[in-house]
């Protein structure tokens, strides 16, 4: 009996001491972690893809909570979860939905092989960054798409690819999560994240050439020449022309398409609008 | 004769010095002269003229835009047509001043006589005065890098200059502008060297010349003997013949070859080991700036290429479009051609013949498309030829791979920023791999990372 009693007392004592030490240590070395971080982590997809710009979902959750404390979670977006997940996160953190307006990557260059003639042959490394460092590239336009696909390589969602016929990247709107990786990869800042717009309808200037009209026209037939016709035509003051280049402010644009018709070089593009219907044709022939 | 060279790496490409014995011609005046505002390393110059202003040869048209910058002078007389953009040697449209040429009227302050001025007849020349005149004349390194010369002559307080080394190596294939300058203006170059030594407050000078220019070595040795080796001269100048090896004209390689000292990794510069390196063209420009009050607006340029009818060397006014010079040599050859500002190793490929000759354009080289076109790259066979030839002791195959897979941390550890972009690795690669293309990408990215880190 004695042995049992001794064992119980000794073990009990060790247990008690250990408990006291552990309790003291847990108080002394406690690291406060916001419980919301764990909650936000739960909501995030857990793919750890890095599309948001952080190393993984944990980092993103941390940044979201910090952002909420600072008063804004703008600029933080989970491209995989999309608006759904971000809405839930915003609810949890008591913030307004940061990205209520879904965005999409837009390639602002229209200089296809047809409109922009090659003037030289580039034999070096086939990346846009290397070609950009060497000079204007194979065409005379020093601003336009180089067509080597740095953006394609940067996209984790297979949402952008070079059209072999035009030599210019095209964005798959379904797959694009507006993570912005392509905008950073493009050495010429051609790709812009724009509001997706109602029914995915958008009007934008598909050119970033800042040369004077005559010069840019010589390099590419569909370049923006900075003539300012669109600026005059726009009833909403959404268009500004700066350094020979027109820009349509997506927040002010009401998609009236007057600028598109006014543009003499067809540098302004309207996408996802229904095909124009001939007014006096019979209703049977109407296509929408 | 003890023939020296740098200690590691190097290659020996075909020399192709087609224009060695072609005497320099004075190029015809252009109809329009184009002056890019960034012809030098550092801040672009700021225009001080306006449309319609009359200018003479030697009139200041743009002032230095910062400490590391240089003023630009008109090389022609006429009126300012416009301040616009035009394609320069970067391949992009950049701000330029365009002057339409009328007559050839020079500023009165410029001494146009051929009389050789010596330092002895100008007692007013103190080191400070020389540096000021060099600065005000817009003199930059004429070898191609275009670093403002006056900055090199005023080293940081932590470094002490011990000697001036004149870079007359001209290790690039094809180019002969420096050689012709030495043959035709040897006396002036030596006065220029004397001025540089006075400005840097040193008494030792070296002239490094590769042995493929025996006539220049012989001529300069004779002139140096006459000028500096009398009892009364305080200067100790020697001509150093160097074994032909590319990239001996690189500053660090030249310092190694001439005085056997190794320049440490950046940000160290040659003056940290006591050497100030100046191109032979710079020495001549310094002579003209200080002694003749002639700002930098002319230079010696080689126009060369195997398919050109009459390749030659020209004394050309800056701002002259390359097209004028190519036409003076018999016009652009038939078929595809690669046009380079500079030589085939370090030159910059251009897409327009309208690019003007600038302060750093030592050559216009035209290579036929067939010769210029690259061969299909093959897998790396780890032969290590690139490691063997790298003059900086780097491992190009590794740096290229690290850049390809975007492993910037490792690339930085492997000293990618030490690369001088000489292209020896790519030249020697038996698998025709684009080593330098990749390394250059990696180097600029890593340098960007380092800059943003130090900015924080």
- Mean pLDDT computed over A248-254: 90
Catalogue the E-assigned strands of B318-409: 337-341, 348-350, 363-368
Q: A70-121 pLDDT, tens per residue?
A: 877 777 778 777 778 888 888 888 876 655 577 889 999 988 888 888 888 8
Q: A22-33 pLDDT, tens per residue?
A: 999 999 988 888
Q: Do B437 and A123 touch (CB under 8 A)?
A: no
Q: Do A129 and B441 touch (CB under 8 A)?
A: yes
Question: What distances in angstroms separate CA B191 from CA B121, B123, B223, B291, one per listed residue?
Answer: 12, 14, 11, 9
Q: In angstroms, what separates the C-alpha of A79 from chain B's closest C-alpha? A: 23
- Mean pLDDT computed over A171-189: 88
CA-based nearest residue to A187, from B444, B324, B70: B444
Q: B49-58 pLDDT, tens per residue?
A: 999 999 999 9
pLDDT exceeds 50 at position B166: yes
**Percent of chain B scoring above 70 in pLDDT:** 99
Give the distance between the most distant pair of CA atoms in chain A.
Answer: 110
pLDDT at A230: 93
- Residue ranges per structural domain of chain B: 119-291, 385-455
The C-alpha angle with vertex B147 and arms to B400 and B251, in degrees rounded to 5, equals 55
* Of residues B90, B93, B351, nearest to A211 (C-beta): B93
Q: Do A133 and B438 touch (CB under 8 A)?
A: no
ipTM of this model?
A: 0.85
Chain B within 8 Å of A215 (Cβ-Cβ)? yes
* Of residues A123, A130, A142, nearest to B93 (C-beta): A142
pLDDT band at A285 (very low <50, low <70, confident <90, very high): very low
Neighbours of B296 (CB within 10 A): 28
pLDDT exceeds 60 at position B260: yes
Higher pLDDT, B229 or B384: B384
pLDDT exceeds 90 at position A35: no
pLDDT exceeds 80 at position A52: no
Select the residue from A116, A142, A187, A223 to test the B interface by mutation, using most B Cβ atoms within 10 A.
A142
Q: In angstroms, what separates the C-alpha of A187 from chain B's closest C-alpha? A: 12
Q: Do B441 and A127 touch (CB under 8 A)?
A: yes
CA-based nearest residue to B339, from B318, B325, B319: B325
- Mean pLDDT computed over A131-148: 89
pLDDT at A94: 81
Q: In angstroms, what separates the C-alpha of B354 from chain A's closest C-alpha? A: 13
pLDDT at B120: 85
The C-alpha angle with vertex A120 and arms to A118 and A124, in degrees rounded to 5, equals 120
Dihedral sign, CA of B152, B156, B158, B161?
positive
Chain B within 8 Å of A126 (Cβ-Cβ)? no
pLDDT band at B11 (very low <50, low <70, confident <90, very high): very high
Q: Which residues of B touch A211 (CB under 8 A)?
A: 85, 93
Higher pLDDT, A83 or B225: B225
Select the residue from B88, B351, B425, B443 to test the A interface by mutation, using most A Cβ atoms within 10 A.
B351
Q: Do A125 and B372 touch (CB under 8 A)?
A: no
Dihedral sign, CA of B247, B249, B253, B256?
positive
Chain B within 8 Å of A134 (Cβ-Cβ)? yes
Comparing alpha-carbon positions, the chain A residue that sits nearest to B437 is: A125
- Residue ranges per structural domain of chain A: 35-93, 103-271
Q: Do B85 and A212 touch (CB under 8 A)?
A: yes
- Mean pLDDT computed over B367-386: 92
CATH hierarchy code of domain B119-291:
3.40.50.11540
User: Counting Cβ atoms within 10 Å, is residue B210 exposed (0-12), middle (13-18) or buried (19+)?
Assistant: buried
Q: In angstroms, what separates the C-alpha of B309 from chain A's closest C-alpha? A: 23
**Percent of chain A scoring above 70 in pLDDT:** 93
Q: Which residues of B touch A125 (CB under 8 A)?
A: 434, 437-438, 441
* Of residues B90, B92, B374, nearest to A123 (C-beta): B374
Chain B within 8 Å of A102 (Cβ-Cβ)? no
pLDDT at B445: 92
Q: Which residues of B touch A135 (CB under 8 A)?
A: 90-92, 348-351
**Percent of chain B scoring above 90 in pLDDT:** 80
Select the residue from B82, B84, B93 to test the A interface by mutation, using most A Cβ atoms within 10 A.
B93
CA atoms within 13 A on the CB side of B197: 24
CA-based nearest residue to A144, from A93, A207, A95, A202: A207
pLDDT exceeds 80 at position B83: yes
Q: Which residues of A touch B372 (CB under 8 A)?
A: 123
Q: B321-359 pLDDT, tens per residue?
A: 999 999 999 999 998 899 999 999 999 999 899 999 999
Chains A and B form CB pairs within 8 A to the count of: 45
- Mean pLDDT computed over B248-276: 91
Q: In angstroms, what separates the C-alpha of A81 from chain B's closest C-alpha? A: 27
- Mean pLDDT computed over B165-186: 94
Give, in words, the CATH class of A35-93: mainly alpha
pLDDT band at A284 (very low <50, low <70, confident <90, very high): very low
This prediction's pTM: 0.84
Q: Are B233 and B223 in contact (CB under 8 A)?
A: no
Query: A25: which DSSP letter?
Result: H
Give chain B's mean pLDDT. Answer: 92
Chain B within 8 Å of A120 (Cβ-Cβ)? yes
The matching CATH number, chosen from 3.40.50.300, 3.30.70.20, 3.40.640.10, 3.30.360.10, for A103-271 is 3.30.70.20
Q: Do B440 and A127 touch (CB under 8 A)?
A: no
pLDDT exceeds 60 at position B78: yes
Comparing alpha-carbon positions, the chain A residue that sits nearest to B426 is: A124
Q: In angstroms, what separates the C-alpha of B106 from chain A's closest C-alpha? A: 34
């Amino acid at each position: 009996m004695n042995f049992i009693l001794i064992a119980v007392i000794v073990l009990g004592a060790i247990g008690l001491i250990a408990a006291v030490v552990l309790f003291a240590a847990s108080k002394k070395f406690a690291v406060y972690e916001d419980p919301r971080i764990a909650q936000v982590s739960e909501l995030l997809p857990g793919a750890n893809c890095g599309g948001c710009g952080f190393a993984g979902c944990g980092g993103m959750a941390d940044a979201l909570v910090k952002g909420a404390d600072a008063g804004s979670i703008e600029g933080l977006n989970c491209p995989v979860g999309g608006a759904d997940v971000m809405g839930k996160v915003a609810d949890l953190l008591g913030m307004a939905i940061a990205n209520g307006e879904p965005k999409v990557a837009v390639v602002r260059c229209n200089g296809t092989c047809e409109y922009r003639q090659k003037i030289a042959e580039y034999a070096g490394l086939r990346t846009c960054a290397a070609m950009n460092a060497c000079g204007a590239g194979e065409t005379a336009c020093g601003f336009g798409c180089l067509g080597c696909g740095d953006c394609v390589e940067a996209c984790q969602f297979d949402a952008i690819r070079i059209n072999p016929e035009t030599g210019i990247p095209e964005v798959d709107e379904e797959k694009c999560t507006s993570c912005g990786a392509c905008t950073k990869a493009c050495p010429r800042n051609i790709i812009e994240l724009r509001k997706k717009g109602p029914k995915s309808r958008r009007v934008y200037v598909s050119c970033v050439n800042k040369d004077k009209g005559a010069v840019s026209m010589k390099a590419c037939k569909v370049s923006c020449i900075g003539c300012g016709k669109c600026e005059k035509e726009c009833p909403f003051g959404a268009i500004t022309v700066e350094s020979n280049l027109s820009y349509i402010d997506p927040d002010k644009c009401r998609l009236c398409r007057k600028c598109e018709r006014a543009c003499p070089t067809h540098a302004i593009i309207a996408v996802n609008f229904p095909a124009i219907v001939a007014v006096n044709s019979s209703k049977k022939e109407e296509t929408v | 004769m003890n023939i020296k060279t740098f200690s590691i790496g190097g290659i020996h490409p075909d020399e192709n010095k087609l224009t060695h014995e072609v005497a320099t011609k004075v190029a015809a005046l252009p109809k329009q002269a184009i002056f890019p505002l960034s012809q030098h390393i550092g801040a672009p110059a700021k225009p001080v003229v306006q449309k319609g202003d009359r200018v003479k040869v030697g009139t200041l048209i743009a002032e230095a835009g910062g400490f590391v910058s240089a003023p630009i002078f008109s090389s022609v007389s006429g009126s300012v047509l416009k301040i616009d953009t035009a394609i320069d040697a970067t391949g992009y449209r950049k701000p330029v001043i365009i002057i339409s040429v009328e007559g050839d009227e020079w500023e009165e302050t410029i001494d146009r006589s051929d009389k050789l001025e010596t330092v002895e007849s100008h007692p007013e020349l103190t080191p400070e005065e020389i540096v000021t005149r060099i600065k005000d004349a817009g003199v930059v390194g004429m070898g191609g890098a275009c670093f403002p010369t006056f900055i090199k002559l005023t080293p940081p307080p932590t470094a002490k200059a011990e000697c001036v080394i004149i870079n007359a190596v001209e290790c690039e294939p094809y180019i002969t502008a420096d050689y012709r300058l030495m043959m035709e203006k040897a006396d002036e170059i030596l006065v220029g060297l004397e001025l540089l030594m006075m400005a840097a407050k040193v008494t030792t000078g070296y002239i490094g010349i590769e042995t493929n220019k025996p006539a220049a070595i012989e001529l300069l040795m004779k002139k140096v003997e006459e000028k500096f080796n009398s009892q009364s001269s305080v200067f100790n100048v020697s001509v150093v013949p160097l074994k032909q090896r590319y990239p001996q004209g690189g500053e660090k390689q030249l310092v190694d070859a001439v005085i056997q000292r190794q320049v440490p990794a950046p940000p160290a510069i040659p003056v940290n080991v006591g050497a100030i390196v100046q191109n032979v063209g710079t020495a001549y420009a310094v002579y003209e700036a200080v002694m003749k009050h002639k700002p930098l607006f002319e230079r010696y340029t080689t126009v060369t290429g195997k398919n050109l009818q009459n390749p030659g060397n020209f004394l050309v006014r800056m701002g002259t479009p390359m097209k004028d010079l190519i036409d003076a040599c018999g016009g652009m050859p038939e078929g595809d051609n690669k046009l380079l500002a500079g030589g085939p190793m370090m030159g910059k490929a251009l897409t327009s013949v309208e690019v003007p000759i600038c302060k750093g354009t030592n050559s216009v080289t035209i290579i036929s498309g067939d010769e210029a076109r690259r061969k299909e790259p093959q897998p790396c066979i780890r032969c290590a030829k690139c490691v063997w030839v790298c003059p900086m002791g780097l491992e190009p195959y590794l740096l290229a791979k690290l850049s390809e897979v975007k492993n910037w941390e490792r690339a930085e550890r492997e000293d990618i920023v030490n690369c001088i972009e000489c292209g020896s690795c790519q030249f020697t690669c038996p698998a025709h791999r684009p080593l330098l293309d990749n390394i250059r990408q990696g180097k600029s990215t890593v340098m960007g990372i380092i800059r943003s880190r130090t900015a924080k």
